[in-house]
Structure 1
Amino acid sequence: MRISVFGCGYLGAVHAACMTRLGHEVVGIDVLPEQVAALERGEAPFFEPGLPDLLLEGKASGRLTFSTDPAAAAEATVHFLCVGTPQKRGENAADLTYVRAALEALLPLLKAGDVVVGKSTVPVGTAEELAERIREVQPDAELIWNPEFLREGFAVKDTLHPDRLVYGFAESPAAREAVAKLDEVYAVALGEGTPKIEADLATAQLVKVAANSFLATKISFINAMAELCEATGADVTLLADAIGHDARIGRKFLNAGVGFGGGCLPKDIRAFMARAGELGVDQALTFLREVDSINMRRRVRMVDLAREVSGGSIVGRQVAVLGAAFKPDSDDVRDSPALSVAAQMQLQGARVTVTDPKAIDNAAKKWPELNFADTVEDAVRDADVVLLLTEWPEYVALDPVELATHVRERRIIDGRNCLDPVAWRAAGWHYRALGRP
């Protein structure tokens, strides 16, 4: 099929490349010339495993192109909206400027029978607004809301082999024809047995934010338990293992530590709360305020812990931070707990050096005041305390005996509870972690 993708940031670039892998002819549209130029060269403008190969493959096949001109999408029959919905400055609500602008750019191109597919994460009610706008311009085009569920670091896999597909639409014969076209787009995934859930527009919009809110709640719950464990001498990792055996709870996302970040969970739960307030049901989501609060407290607690192990002060201390990205297998530093902690310590008088396998360039743009190192050895040289804040595999696998040869003091804080305390203490390190004795 001929497909257009409006918005070629993280979601859109991955979606465009993956749709080409599935055999479709795809054109990606974006307003940033430098981003389009990089994609046209087959270069990924961000780190995502597997994406560079897909881009080169798509370009070589001739089925993948990118442009800044919306008119390049004129021949497409299925149009995906993949633009960002960042948090409004000074507010919790989502900024829909880019979604509306993308639709307005698409509207003059719509033909009878075309399908507009929304993938952006939007407040409930947005799709209905966009559907009405489409009807005003092209009554014979249809809107389906098809939320994305990508995990950074696994986005290619999640697009090619999703764990579910959700279609939101207003029931009608024309909508059924649109559903059939979207089924054709996802024919490979559906052929693999991927569950498809058909829903109304409101439900489809709620699925993504509800899922993110649940995951954020689970993470903040175990971090709240970590606070209790610290007060009582209990071990939060053993606690998580024990309750995780309950099939109703499960062990995933019960890893206590410095908390969640990134471009989705924090802004999505805040936008969810804001939208609930607009709908007059804000009391239903008041618990998310505490979820957010617990998450932000973890960052403060990490700085306090560094101060504790450093004898009561971090002023003038040499601090090494392992990790800048908000999670491994990503170069995304948006709302990164690791970078937030590093910046707080720098502001409080520490001399902080940060390292990360992929995110140094992005981190340096956000916090140029910090020091950065390309290797772990350079980052920890003469360090008084080391903080592991992003659980990259190479950091989890560090040899405590070898690392000790580079530092001034053997003090390490495991901000992700991913190291073996026995091994590190046996190597002479003062090991501390959130929620562990």
Structure 2
Amino acid sequence: MHDPRVLLDPATDAVRKLARRGFQLDVDQLEKLVSDRSALIQGLDGARAESNQIASEVRAVSKAGGDTADLVARARRLKTDIAAGEDRHKAIEEDLRRFLLEVPNLPEDRCPDGDSDEFAVEVRTWGTPPAFDFTPADHVDVGERLGIFDFARATKLSGPRFAVVRGVGAQLERAIATLFLEIHTKRHDYVEFSLPALVTRDTMTGTGQLPKFEQDLFRTGVGDRTLFLTPTAEVPLTNLHAGETLAAEDLPLAYTAWTPCFRSEAGSYGRDTRGLIRQHQFAKVEMVRICAPENSSQELEKMLGQAEACLQELGLAYRVVALAAGDISFSAQFTYDIEVWLPSQKRYREISSCSDCSTFQARRAGIRTKSKDGKKGFAATLNGSGLPIGRTLVAILEQGQQADGSVVLPAALVPYLGYRQINPDGTTAT
């Protein structure tokens, strides 16, 4: 969320920046809300000062034995006016809050122009996409040959866009998650959390999923209490410090978690309906960093490298791209995507997004900082996938497939599995 004064400051150039991401800022409405709020505050301050002055006069006149009836009547009228003014002030504050909650973060000028992944700019590639002397199958065909997927029974249980993964496939998922958590906690000093999968409306609002994207969320509740299934561990990890003031010297904080994630995939009808790429429920290891705003850009580069380390450990070919201004998430000011090579599609597909949100989420969630010398401000927050388990499994199956239908697994997973190869009959080999 923004400070409205910053949005209205010509030096911020907010109208142009927001237009780059396809958002038209209603400056007239914002100016009216801010002006009306200022006028109400000024009027309330004057009325309260007058009320205090009359109270003093009442005491003085009463002490002198004079008639205070007119003063008391005036004080009562002021009390009524102040109460009404306070109600109007609360209403306009809520109108302003609702307005600001709909305004996305300002994209950095270094974001490429454009409004889709077609406008992303390649930053670098890593690894060489595997070459095959046969036509590579997609991960669904590979997995079904190995006997590790059962999409038919998943549909029977829950409907489309769900998966059942069995046997060595389930072992693979657990091994992938364990490897990623160990990379983040042992090499990169992240603190691991186990988190609730259900969170409140305020928690969702703090990281920017609400109010704008309510149609993308799964919702439930107990009695009259509404709860939302988390679409990513970014939501609870970031909001661990909602409403708190952090000691500046303790920053940066680095948190990670392996959680289920739930997304309705509203607006994705007909896209990636086959397999694991776009599911209503999936597992992901998430990274969140909280730092001083002036350090957020370098913290983003650090987080990006930490996500890349997961793919490098697995030997999976990928590339890094900078997303266009119109394609970054609502809360981000700059985003890198990591895209892993999928042989069946002959192209790179997104496997991780690493975003710098600057102080945008911290303002919404009330995450403040205070230095030893008493200087106060808002923290910067960053989040990144490190990595989704399902899409990583997709890449492992596709890049590791062999002509005989077997799959050779990355060596980094052997310590967690005890085998290196899955054969077409579902058996394993070292």
TM superposition score category, shorter chain reference: under 0.3
Rg bigger for which structure?
Answer: 2
TM-score for the superposition, normalised by structure 2: 0.25
TM-score for the superposition, normalised by structure 1: 0.25
Instruction: Compare the two structures and name the one with the higher strand fraction.
Output: 2
